[in-house]
Chains A and B, each alone.
Chain A
Amino acid sequence: MKRPSMIRREFLTLPRQAVGGLLLYTLAGEPFRISAQQDGSVRVPLRFFTEAEARVVFAACERVFPSDANGPGATEAAVVIYIDRQLAGPYGRDKYRYTKGPFVESRPEHGYQGKETPREIYRQGIRELGDGFATLPVEAQIQKLTAIEKSRFFQMLRTHTIEGMFADPMHGGNAGLIGWQLIGYPGPVMTYRAEIDKHYGAPYRPKPASLEQIAGRKPVAWEDEKA
């Protein structure tokens, strides 16, 4: 008999501000219990990162897409959970990239030609930022990220942060549809037939809804599908 207690499981404790709609939208169906802490924070089970790694990514995403006067950011959207799931899934293992050799450097127009998978790029990038990154003052964090902003790791982190802000919450980010609320995106609404030729020049901003809410049944994210 399998004993789940034998599996070493890493958790990330998310602060109170990130909890918003997290339990409602993001973590439904998660086999491991989310435990609410006394201070209002939650402990989220991780699929790929260690807790220390997740803390670094959590802090770095917040610098890429900060929570500021213009509205919520990567922390509230739980972008780190999105990235954790992507890296744990087929994308993280480069299942959908051509990975046969020989590997040779080429011109920029040929894109990334390296051998390293997204998982390996993250592990290496996080190591270089260092465990202490999460507790550095904001200015020092910005300085560190500026120094690596041309790296493959940073470019991925930036791209994934945008994805985690605005992908459907079934993927673990955009918690509570906070990303869509921020930009006024209504979600995958089934029809605008009565609206497309109206509202010229004026904002039309229906209340956002997720694919599950709109379709009335649960979609399965690619990273959650059985291989």
Chain B
Amino acid sequence: MENLKPVDVAIVGGGWTGLMMAKEITTRTGLTVAVLERGIPRKTSDYALDMDELDYAVRLRMMQNIAEETITHRHSMRDSAVPVRQYGSFLPGSGVGGAGEHWNGASWRFLPSMFTMRTHLTEKHGAARLPENLAVQDWGVTYEDLEPHYWRAEQMMGVSGKAGNVNGKIIDGGNPFEGARKNEYPLPPLKKSHLSVLFEEGARKLGYHPHPAPAANLSETYKNPDGITRPGCAYCGYCERFGCMIGAKSQPSNTLLPVLQRRKNFELRTGCWVRRIVHKDGKATGVQYIDAQGRETFQPASVVVLATFTLNNVRLLYLSKIGTPYDAAGGKGTLGKNLTHQVEGNTRVFFDKPLNAFMGTGGLAMRVSDFDGDHGLNGSEGLLRMGMIGVLSNGSRPIGTFDAMPRGSAKTNWGSDWKGAALKWRDRNAMIALSGEHLSYRQNFMDLDPAYTDKFGDPLLRFTLDWTDHEHRQSEYAKEIAQKIAPEMGAVLAEPLGGRAPYNVINYQSTHIQGGTVMGLSPESSVVNRYQQHWDMKNMWVLGASCIPQNASHNPTLTILATTTWAADALIERYLKHPGGLA
């Protein structure tokens, strides 16, 4: 084992949260920071030739190599788990920037009620009426605490959007149901696709409040407070699963990295696969990793920041034996609890005119939030929480979308009839989709698998996860609403997709896997405190979506950036001055 010279801060993971924390520390202090990223280096010019659907969207070139490490899944504790052998219901990214390179760019704030969910639901329904297995909890940090941090993240990325609530004043054209913002978005909304306009007009006829989704795809040339200038989006339709070749989609590699590369106290090491957080007497002493040349390496550090994707944050704590594993049967312990994904409910709509849907960009969506959170629920729906409904114009590519057609159009899914129907409906179909909250439950959690291992022989992370009646009902309710919107937007046919099926690991849903190291108000209920400092190991911070106790209807990126600068403020302004537990 090679022992390296100590650094002040070792950060595991070079994605959004790791690089954001590195930027805050190296800008505001003289401390030395080493970021350890197991993937490859990335920069904007790497993406000049990546507009290839097969390699990137089908073969998933930017994702972690699942041959080296995956997860296992079972639906309940009664089952035995099997590995997810190919992606997948979610797509963890690899390389500098992580999933922040291949994302779409949706940049929502969470609803204020997300942060105080236990209190909110108890006040609304009474404790006795909440399901016994409901595991939602308060984060310990509120929307009001995070508002300035949301604004910092929006400015850093250059979010394009339309505010619906500025200091309590409701603004037409924005989302009237959002938490109060102090400022309008840094950039105006993106241009509208034909599909966006159809949905907007249809939803408005029903009295709903359609609004453009806030997007980290720049609507215009933008210079951020760090002095980084990037061009407006080209609407080429190659965002999701691709890196942006012109840097118009905000990615860690085109926003944070250019700033960090100017810092003398910053070092980024790629190809470094961290296998353990090393600790002694309740204190992290550094990280152990295999470097790009295959050498066992120990990097001593005074502070360790765990900033990988949800899966690896949880797994590294398990493998390093830090914290108390969650025991679902007894309800005790915290590490691994509150695993959530996202709830879907899709309706395919067909039109008699083409949509030219190959044009678009990752964050180009039109949504209604009239059913988001628990707005608009009157109790008769059998729902505690719901989500957003809308359409996405992120660029339809030919392989992925070829054979969408009404059911019964052809007897088989191959041959002449099938080909004819596919060509007939080509570019004349779209999805009205639910992006739904996923409540956390006691029976959904992560731990280590007893049978399957990664390329080093370490146990894989195991998911125990299934949908409950509530999620099925969310899905169904979304489809009922879509049936109303579809004819108003001129659709000739609307077909609800899917039924009450168990969780499946095959079909892509979203990469919003969350929980496992949740934040909260006490060591009995959470892995990290409200500043994302580990309860048991005061010189360790855990960042990102693993800290989210229940899944929002909104994409998590903006929120994990906001919680990261919130955590960075606490680390820099309080912990470094007086090392110890922050309360």
Q: A97-B86, A142-B415, A211-B51 are in contact. Are A180 and B398 (CB under 8 A)?
A: yes
Q: Mark B190-202, 1 if CB is under 8 A from A, else 0.
A: 0111100100000
Please encode chain B, from 391 to 408, with 1 for each CB lying within 8 Å of some chain A CB and 0 for all others.
000000111001100000
A110 and B73 contact, CB distance less than 8 A = yes
* CB-defined contacts of B84 to chain A, threshold 8 Å: 98, 110-111
**Is the CB–CB distance between B235 and A113 below 8 Å?**
no
Shortest distance in angstroms between A91's beta carbon and chain B's nearest beta carbon? 6
Q: How large is the interface on A (under 10, 10 to 19, 20 to 34, 35 or more residues)?
A: 35 or more
**CB-defined contacts of A202 to chain B, threshold 8 Å:** 353-354
| Structural contact, B419 and A73, CB atoms closer than 8 A | yes
User: Which B36-59 residues have C-beta < 8 A from chain A?
Assistant: 48-49, 51-55, 58-59
Asked whether A66 is an interface residue with its Cβ less than 8 Å from the other chain, the reply is yes
User: Is B420 part of the binding interface, using a Cβ–Cβ cutoff of 8 Å?
Assistant: yes
In the complex, A185→B395 CA distance in Å? 11
A73 to B350 Cα, complex, angstroms: 25
Q: Closest CB-CB distance, B344 to chain A, in whole Å?
A: 14
Does residue A40 face the partner (Cβ distance < 8 Å to B)?
no
**B70 contact set on A, CB distance < 8 A:** 98
CB contact between B359 and one of A65, A68, A196, A215 (< 8 Å): that residue = A196
Contacting residues of chain A (156-206) with chain B, CB-CB under 8 angstroms: 158, 161-163, 165-168, 170-171, 179-180, 182-186, 188-193, 195-197, 199-204
Is B66 in contact with chain A by the CB < 8 A criterion? yes
Residues in B276-294 with C-beta less than 8 Å from chain A: none
Quick check: B83 and A167 within 8 Å, CB to CB? Answer: no
Q: Does A149 lie within 8 Å of B414, measured CB to CB?
A: yes
Stretch at the interface among B150-158, B256-264, B496-504, B544-552: B496-504
* Cβ–Cβ contact A65 & B414, under 8 A: yes
Assembly CA distance A171 to B245 (angstroms): 21
B167 is an interface residue with CB less than 8 A from chain A: no
A223 CB to nearest chain B CB (Å)? 8
Taking a contact as CB atoms closer than 8 A, the residue among A65, A71, A179, A193 that contacts B235 in the complex is A193
A219–B50 Cα distance when bound, in Å, is: 8
Q: Is B77 an interface residue (CB 8 A)?
A: no
Given known contacts A163-B54, A193-B232, A197-B191, A110 and B399 CB-to-CB distance under 8 angstroms:
no
Cβ of B356 within 8 Å of any chain A Cβ, yes or no, is yes
In the complex, are the beta carbons of B235 and A203 less than 8 A apart?
A: no
Enumerate chain B residues within 8 angstroms of A171, measured Cβ to Cβ: 54
A residues near B576, Cβ cutoff 8 Å: none
**In the complex, which residues of chain B have a beta carbon less than 8 angstroms from the beta carbon of A29?**
none
Interface pair B505/A109, CB less than 8 Å apart: yes
Chain B residues positioned under 8 Å from A217 (CB to CB): 49
- In this assembly, does B416 line the interface, its C-beta being within 8 Å of a C-beta of chain A? yes
- A199 close to B194 (CB less than 8 A): yes
Other-chain residue from B85, B194, B415, B451 in contact with A112 (beta carbon distance below 8 A): B85
Residues facing B in A76-129 (CB within 8 A) are: 91, 94-100, 102, 104, 106-113
Q: Which residue of chain A lies nearest to B412 when distances are taken between CB atoms in the complex?
A: A149
Q: Tell me the dominant secondary structure on chain B's binding face.
A: loop
Nearest-neighbour CB distance to chain B for A119, whole angstroms, equals 15
Across-interface contacts of B86 in A (CB, < 8 A): 96-98, 111-112
User: Is the beta-carbon distance between B353 and A197 smaller than 8 angstroms?
Assistant: no
How far in angstroms is the closest Cβ of chain B from A209? 11
* Chain B 373-400 per-residue mask, 1 if CB under 8 angstroms from chain A, else 0: 0000000000000000000000001110
CB-CB nearest in chain B for A110 = B82
- Whether B49 pairs with A195 at a CB distance below 8 angstroms is no
B438 sits at the interface (CB 8 A):
no
Asked if A38 lies at the interface with its beta carbon under 8 angstroms from chain B, I say no
Task: Tell me the nearest residue of chain B to A68, going by C-beta.
Answer: B416
Q: Which of A71, A106, A108, A110 has most B Cβ within 10 Å?
A: A110
- Decide if B354 touches A66 in the complex (CB within 8 Å): no
Partner of A96, one of B60, B398, B399: B60
Q: Are A183 and B354 in contact (CB under 8 A)?
A: no
Which B residues are in CB contact (< 8 Å) with A99?
67, 85
Within 8 A of A (CB), among B57-106: 58-61, 65-67, 70, 73, 75, 80, 82-86
Q: B427 touching A184 by the CB < 8 A rule? A: yes
Q: Is B337 engaged at the interface, CB distance under 8 Å to the other chain?
A: no
Partner of B192, one of A66, A158, A180, A197: A197
B233: Cβ under 8 A from any A Cβ: yes
Nearest Cβ distance between residue B448 and chain A, in whole angstroms? 15
Q: Is A5 positioned at the interface, with any CB of B under 8 Å from its CB?
A: no
Are B359 and A195 in contact (CB-based, < 8 A)? yes
Question: CB distance A106 to B415 under 8 Å?
Answer: no
Residue in B closest to A108 when the chains form the complex, CB atoms = B504
Is A63 a contact partner of B415 (Cβ separation < 8 A)?
Answer: yes
What is the bound-complex CA distance between A200 and B490, given in angstroms?
13
Interface residue? B210 (CB, 8 A): no
Q: Chain A: which residue is nearest B414 at the CB level?
A: A64
Distance in angstroms between the alpha carbons of A110 and B85 in the assembled complex: 8
- Can you give 10 A-B contacts (C-beta < 8 A)? A96-B86, A98-B83, A108-B504, A110-B506, A162-B403, A185-B397, A195-B235, A195-B356, A203-B427, A217-B49
Interface residues of B (CB under 8 A from A): 48-49, 51-55, 58-61, 65-67, 70, 73, 75, 80, 82-86, 191-194, 197, 232-238, 245, 353-354, 356, 358-360, 397-399, 402-403, 412-416, 419-420, 423, 426-427, 451-453, 501-506
Q: A97-B66, A107-B502, A109-B505 are known contacts; what are 5 more A-B pairs with Cβ within 8 Å?
A: A64-B414, A98-B85, A163-B58, A191-B236, A222-B55
List the interface of chain A (C-beta within 8 A of B).
Answer: 63-66, 68, 70-71, 73, 91, 94-100, 102, 104, 106-113, 142, 145-146, 149, 158, 161-163, 165-168, 170-171, 179-180, 182-186, 188-193, 195-197, 199-204, 211, 214-215, 217, 219-222
